[in-house]
Amino acid sequence: DIQMTQSPSSLSASVGDRVTIICQASHDISNYLNWYHQKPGKAPKLLINDASNLETGVPSRFSGYGSGTDFTLTISTLQPEDIGTYYCQQYDNVPWTFGQGTKVEIK
Amino acid sequence: EVQLLESGGGLVQPGGSLRVSCAASGFTFSNYAMSWVRQAPGKGLEWVSAISGSGSTTYYADSVKGRFTISRDNSKNTLYLQMHSLRAEDTALYHCAKGGLGLVAAALDFWGQGTLVTVSS
């Protein structure tokens, strides 16, 4: 199975800060990497597909980058509604696997 | 508007069986792959199973292979997950999620709120 490792596990930042979350795959997954955001008590929401394609309706402050084994999700200007947990997910190989999540809080 | 409404969760004893369902609307159900993803209380996301739009292709996580069966009824716009030999570690909120158009391997672009399955004596 392909292991997905996210860092950090949690972070606390101020409104307006630039935030970067890292996701590393144990094997080359090309760009078969998605990012999801889950607010407390809610279903996950797809933010970015294929490593860098922003989903329709997702604010442009979100961006994704990477290929192979190393990926990043960046929030250019953190907003209060961005709190919650962010997950990366690979779909290059079954079983599809998620990172353990990065919990984002407002300082 | 896309809607996914899960149902059928509940309390079941270890070794028991349960079938959860997901009623879909707002899109042409038969054209899209679907998945089940679960989340144990306070934990992260775990992909469980996926099925193609026609139902002819299915995939499973090793943790449920041989115990769970994914299926769909395109005439009823409904996805199912039949679970047997349930274990305490299967306790989770089970989400259905909409997948790719014509592709099983794709992003999960819409998720339901989930149905809670609790395995306990």
Q: Average pLDDT across each block of 10 residues of chain B; the chain has 121 residues. List them in order.
A: 98 98 97 97 97 95 98 98 98 96 87 98 96
Distance CA A53, CA A18 (A): 19
- Using alpha carbons only, give the angle A50, B92, B101 rounded to the nearest 5 degrees: 30
From the list A36, A49, A98, which residue is nearest B46 (CB)? A98
pLDDT (average), residues A47-71:
97
CA distance to partner chain B, nearest, from residue A37 (Å): 11
Q: Torsions phi, psi of B81, nearest 5?
A: -140, 110
pLDDT tens-digit series, residues A1-43 = 999 999 999 999 999 999 999 999 999 999 999 999 999 999 9
**Contact (CB, 8 A) for B103 and A32:** no
Distance CA A97, CA A56 (A): 24
Other CB atoms within a 10 A radius of the CB of residue A30 amount to 13
Q: What is the pLDDT of residue B105?
A: 82
3-state secondary structure B46-96: EEEEEECCCCCCEEECCCCCCCEEEEEECCCCEEEEEECCCCHHHCEEEEE
Q: What is the pLDDT of residue B100?
A: 85
B47 to A87: CB separation less than 8 angstroms, yes or no: no
Q: Average pLDDT of chain A?
A: 97
B5 near A CB under 8 A: no
Question: CB neighbours of A79 closer than 8 A, spacing ≥ 6?
Answer: A15, A59, A61
Distance CA B74, CA B55 (A): 9
B33 near A CB under 8 A: no
Q: What is the pLDDT of residue B54?
A: 94
Q: What is the pLDDT of residue B110?
A: 97
Consecutive H or E run containing B3: strand B3-7
Q: Residue A5: list chain B partners with CB under 8 A.
A: none
B109 near A CB under 8 A: yes
pLDDT (average), residues A55-69:
97
- The per-residue DSSP string of chain A comes to ---EEEE-SEEEE-TT--EEEEEEESS--TT-EEEEEE-TTS--EEEEETTTEEPTT--TTEEEEEETTEEEEEESS--GGG-EEEEEEE-SSSSPEE---EEEEE-
**Contact (CB, 8 A) for A76 and A64:** no
Mutate to test the interface with A, among B5, B47, B95, B113 (most CBs of A within 10 A): B47
A45 near B CB under 8 A: yes
Beta bridge partners of B38: B46, B94
Distance CA A60, CA B85 (A): 46
